[in-house]
Structure 1
Amino acid sequence: MSALKVLVTGASGFVGEAVVFRLLADKKFCPIAASRGATRLNGLCSVQPFDMNMDVLPALDDVHVVIHAAARVHVMNETAEDALTEFRKVNVDGTLRLARRAAESGVKRFIFVSSIKVNGEGSFAPSVYEADDQPHPVDPYGISKYEAEQALKKLHSETGMEVVIIRPPLVYGPGVKANFQNMMMWLDKGIPLPLGLIRNQRSFVAIGNLVNLIDVCIDHPAAANQTFLVSDGEDLSTTQLLRRLSRAMGRPARLVPVPAWLLKLAATTLGKQAFAQRLCGSLQIDIGKNRELLGWTPPVSVDDAMRQTADHYRENVKR
């Protein structure tokens, strides 16, 4: 039996690259990396140019499945004057161009890595987000991801190409950057943080768990035309996250017990409400649908994922 050809976009990014490495480890798959820029995958598998901004699309001949991880990503401090238009150009128009080409080329299944931001910005106990809840995106990034999902569902109804949507929350793991890497730097340097009294609950997902779910969705019959949320299956407060991460790093967590309401007040005064929401607000995910339809549970524990993340930081980032 010939290997299943799977094209992965965003292959130079955190998620896309991890997906390709996972596929390379399984002989039943023949991964093709589609990347806008340089990638460490050169020489390991077929690499094709792909740029949603420039309408540079990869060849899709004999490709069975497309995993679309490329996107204009959410940033904390958006600088574009019309951010929604810029997000739509890439996340909606670019995604649909690729998906149409995939359908025309006979691709059987299109897996779209979306975002929990399609569901909304946060939940309040005891409520949690479920995969089939009514979406409520708030910011331009979340809106663009939701519009892309809708466009893909319409394309499925027109062409029959199967569509699978996966909405992750914050993804962490070896090689993670941005705010999660910053947290590791703060803990490593022993910087006191006013985050010792945060009692929120947030869902996260280790890169190993996200990639495992994507792997399952490549050929699981029950995944066709479904939307899935994904998490580690263990929610943490910001305080718990920092303590668990510090333990994985072998460093003390110097967390000052400042009340959450005072942090929110200070953030509002400084115009950093969105940042305060991520630190103090709750965002919980129910992955029960994954268990029921796919028999899937997260294979990587939070502590193991944090150890892997800390080990990579020590070996590759720490100065």
Structure 2
Amino acid sequence: MILITGANGFVGNALLSRLNANSIHVLGRKLPYDFLADRFYKQEINHFEDYSRALSNGVETVIHLAARVHVMDDKVTNPLEEYRNTNVYGTMNLARQAVKAGVKRLIFLSSIKVNGESTEREMPFCSFSDYCPEDYYGVSKAEAEQELFKLAKETGLEVVVIRPTLVYGPGVKANFASLLDLVYKGIPLPFSCIDKNERSLVSVDNLVDLIVTCIEHPNAVNQIFCVTDDKDVSTSNLVYKLCLALGKKAWQIPVPIWCFKLIGKILNKTNVVERLTNSLQVDITHTKQTLGWVPPQTLEDGLKKTAEAFIHSKISRGN
């Protein structure tokens, strides 16, 4: 039996579909429309919630996907503490109750943001990179990782940490969806000069495949696994690949990078510009060698599947 938190999220839905196809019995926080109601429990993730009902059904593995993610223009008084409430205290509350219930393994979906926001060219992050988070979300995920490994040492709970890069796939939201929409509409984009950076991405299918691999793999115990598509891409090249996937002509305007940086400084959007122009490369050698795993889906196939789902969604909505 597997308990999944965040079952209705982007990654959670993809994972449930995969496990359901494999006839693996699962429990989740929320009820997707195509699963049996008595298999799921709706609960919050915080430091005082009682998970005994969900954990009392012979659960052997917990896959913890639920998290407080990035909140634009966050107005809370203490945003770091809000992230900690869910991502650290909530995670540890769940983990301790899992130990008490006899759960064998906990798979924790972390983030490459625990290592930082950018890398120097040919100096990628890896499973052994130092913690160096630059925002509250990254700080909370880093703290949760460290607390989980302490608990593992004290109790024997098998902890597996997975650090994805930017996750994309059918149904993706936020900035990636906005980029898809701009390309789909044929709007010229000013990214032609951003062709020297390298970004690691991961399709949701590849991420899910790694999670499933870690459910029972003996070598996964108390390990950190970075996950990508194992092929890096510049911002300009990503737009070009999306154009191909969407069947659109690539319209890119050569705007110098210094212009982006100047505009970002004026508009107080330096962090946005840095994500567009900087590199963020991740080496998954440890993941591949330890688990004998390789991403089953190429970057190009992942983008194609994402584009097809995006077009289908547009057509179904009459757009």
TM-score range, shorter chain: over 0.9
SS in 2 for 1:197: coil
Q: Is the 8 A contact 2:246 2:307 kept in 1?
A: yes
- Give 1:8-47 correspondences, 5 Å limit: 8-27=4-23, 29-35=24-30, 39-43=32-36, 46-47=39-40
Q: Output the TM-score relative to the length of structure 1.
A: 0.94
The Cα shift of 1:260 comes to 1.4
% same residue: 45
Q: Distance in 2 between matches of 1:255 and 1:294?
A: 40
Select which of 199, 204, 226 maps to 1:202: 199
Q: Is the 8 A contact 1:14 1:175 kept in 2?
A: yes
* Equivalence for 1:165: 161
Q: Which amino acid aligns with 1:221?
A: P
Q: Distance in 1 between matches of 2:161 and 2:84?
A: 18
The Cα shift of 1:78 comes to 3.0
The farther-off stretch of 168-177 and 43-52 is: 43-52
Structure 2 vs 1, CA of residues 187 and 97 (structure 1 numbering), >3 Å: closer, same or farther?
A: same
Q: Is the 8 A contact 2:29 2:41 kept in 1?
A: yes
Structure 1: which 5+ residue stretches go unaligned?
none
SS in 1 for 2:22: coil
Question: Does residue 149 of the first structure (1) align with residue 145 of the second (2)?
Answer: yes
Question: Does residue 278 of the first structure (1) align with residue 275 of the second (2)?
Answer: yes
Q: Distance in 1 between matches of 2:38 and 2:241?
A: 36
Q: Is the 8 A contact 2:127 2:226 kept in 1?
A: yes
Select which of 49, 52, 55 maps to 1:55: 49
Q: Which amino acid aligns with 1:268?
A: K
Q: Output the TM-score relative to the length of structure 2.
A: 0.94
Q: Distance in 2 between matches of 1:301 and 1:42?
A: 30
SS in 2 for 1:194: coil
Select which of 80, 84, 88 maps to 2:84: 88
Q: Distance in 2 between matches of 1:56 and 1:263?
A: 48
SS in 2 for 1:137: coil
Select which of 294, 298, 305 maps to 1:297: 294
1:167-210 superposed Cα distances (whole Å, 9 cap, x missing partner): 10110000101111100111111112111110210000000000
The Cα shift of 1:20 comes to 1.2
* Equivalence for 2:262: 265
SS in 2 for 1:203: strand
* Equivalence for 1:75: 71
1:205-247 superposed Cα distances (whole Å, 9 cap, x missing partner): 0000000000100000000000010000000001011110111
Q: Distance in 1 between matches of 2:72 and 2:59?
A: 36
The Cα shift of 1:80 comes to 2.4
The Cα shift of 1:44 comes to 7.7
Structure 2: which 5+ residue stretches go unaligned?
none
Equivalent residues, number:
312
The farther-off stretch of 107-116 and 49-58 is: 49-58
The Cα shift of 1:56 comes to 5.2
The Cα shift of 1:95 comes to 0.5
Q: Is the 8 A contact 1:33 1:41 kept in 2?
A: no
Q: Is the 8 A contact 1:164 1:226 kept in 2?
A: yes
1:19-52 superposed Cα distances (whole Å, 9 cap, x missing partner): 111111113x2111223xx533443881111211
The Cα shift of 1:317 comes to 3.9
The Cα shift of 1:159 comes to 1.1
Q: Which amino acid aligns with 1:63?
A: V
* Equivalence for 1:229: 226
Q: Is the 8 A contact 1:96 1:151 kept in 2?
A: yes
Q: Which amino acid aligns with 1:274?
A: N
The farther-off stretch of 184-193 and 41-50 is: 41-50
Q: Which amino acid aligns with 1:22?
A: R
Q: Is the 8 A contact 2:27 2:54 kept in 1?
A: no
Q: Which amino acid aligns with 2:147?
A: A
